[in-house]
């Protein structure tokens, strides 16, 4: 399996788990790097979806964050974990916030559980917790990183999505079947499954997802 996919001149490299390096239009973005084995490349913008250790990893972020040149955009619940991270700027966001950095547009969107619970009535990722996904526009391509989420109503309102990065492992996030329903609602031109192979889930979940959708799917392996 390849470690990267290309769409519209934008290259998307899977770093493992929910981590991606996205390059296009002369710009570089990293999202949720965790236990990265590949050599770090300095990013113009680093995005973090929420404060769980496998998404908000200061040690991994330092491999991609230039203290003088990288802006970090992170969910507000990451403020404590990132308090010592040196970056050009750190912006904390909540669902609905949007902005632009170095020509890269972004919109923070909801990410939460509706049927994945740590205890009765206690979702792993409650809506009020403020975890986010992102719709990022880079090199003229819109990329949706769903974060840790179930298939939620807000996905029907994302607008144009060229590439969708969707979790498929179940337990804490969508199952392959639920991710397929999400893909049908979002209608991306390319879907890339994530959130398998590290904490929970296997490549079988990614292949199950691919078998259930009619959109183009690239199943990647982590870059080494």
Question: 89-134 pLDDT, tens per residue?
Answer: 999 999 999 999 999 999 999 999 999 999 998 999 999 999 999 9
Which residue spans within the chain are E strands per DSSP?
A: 4-7, 10-16, 19-24, 27-31, 45-48, 71-75, 89-93, 98-101, 104-110, 117-119, 122-123, 132-138, 141-145, 163-167, 190-194, 216-217
Q: Is residue 72 part of a domain?
A: yes
- Local structure of residue 73 (DSSP, 8 states): E
Residue 210 CA to residue 154 CA, distance in Å, equals 23
Residue 89 domain-assigned (yes or no)? yes
pLDDT of 224 over the 80 cut? no
The tokens describing 188, both together, are 């991306």
pLDDT for residue 40 = 82
Confidence (pLDDT) at 33: 97
Give a yes or no: residue 70 inside a domain: yes
- pTM equals 0.97
Burial zone of 53 (CB within 10 Å; 0-12 exposed, 13-18 middle, 19+ buried): exposed
The predicted structure's pLDDT at residue 211: 98
Give the pLDDT score at 1.
84
According to the model, what pLDDT value does residue 28 have? 98
Evaluate whether residue 61 is within a structural domain.
yes
Does residue 222 fall inside a structural domain?
no
Q: Is the model's pLDDT at 32 over the cut of 90?
A: yes
Q: What are phi and psi of 182, to 5 degrees?
A: -60, -45
Nearest to 24 by CA among 37, 7, 9, 13: 9
Q: Tell me if 69 is assigned to some domain.
A: yes
User: Quick check: is 186 in a domain?
Assistant: yes
**pLDDT band for position 38 (cuts 50, 70, 90):** confident
Eight-state DSSP code of residue 39: P
Residue at 223 is within a domain? no
Pair 109, 134: CB distance under 8 Å: yes
Q: What is the structure's pLDDT at 154?
A: 98
Evaluate if residue 12 carries a pLDDT over 80: yes
pLDDT of 39 reads 80
Query: Looking at residue 211, which CATH number applies to its domain?
Result: 3.60.15.10
Instruction: Say if residues 2 and 222 touch (Cβ distance below 8 Å).
Output: no
Paired strand residues for 12: 5, 22
Element holding 59 (H helix, E strand): helix 58-62
Q: Which of 5-9, 135-139, 180-184, 199-203 has the lowest mean pLDDT?
A: 199-203
For residues 161 and 134, give the distance between their C-alpha atoms in angstroms, rounded to a whole number.
11
Structural domain of 68 = 4-217
Cβ atoms of 44 and 24 closer than 8 Å:
no
In angstroms, rounded to a whole number, what is the distance separating the alpha carbons of residues 191 and 188? 6
pLDDT tens per residue, range 39-66? 888 999 999 999 999 999 999 999 999 9
Q: Strand, coil or helix: what is 77?
A: helix
Lowest mean pLDDT across 24-28, 81-85, 117-121, 216-220: 117-121
Q: How many domains does the chain have?
A: 1
% the chain with pLDDT above 70 = 100
């Amino acid at each position: 399996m390849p470690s990267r996919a290309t769409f519209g001149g934008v290259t998307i490299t899977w770093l493992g788990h929910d981590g991606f390096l996205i390059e296009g239009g002369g710009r570089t973005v990293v999202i949720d790097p965790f236990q990265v084995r590949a050599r770090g490349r300095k990013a113009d913008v680093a995005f973090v979806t929420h404060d769980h250790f496998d998404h908000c990893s200061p040690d991994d972020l330092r491999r991609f964050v230039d203290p003088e040149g990288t802006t970090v955009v992170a969910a507000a619940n990451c403020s404590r974990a990132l308090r010592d991270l040196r970056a050009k700027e750190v912006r904390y966001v909540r669902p609905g916030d949007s902005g632009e950095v170095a020509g890269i547009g972004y919109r923070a969107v909801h990410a939460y559980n509706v049927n994945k619970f740590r205890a009765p009535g206690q979702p792993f990722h409650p809506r009020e917790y403020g975890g986010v996904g992102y719709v990022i526009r880079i090199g003229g391509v819109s990329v949706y990183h769903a974060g840790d989420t179930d298939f939620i109503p807000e996905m029907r309102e994302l607008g144009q999505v060229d590439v969708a990065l969707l979790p498929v492992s179940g337990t804490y996030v969508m199952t392959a079947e639920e991710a397929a329903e999400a893909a049908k609602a979002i209608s991306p031109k390319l879907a890339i499954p994530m959130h398998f192979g590290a904490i929970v889930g296997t490549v079988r979940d990614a292949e199950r997802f691919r078998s259930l959708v009619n959109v183009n799917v690239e199943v990647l392996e982590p870059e080494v």
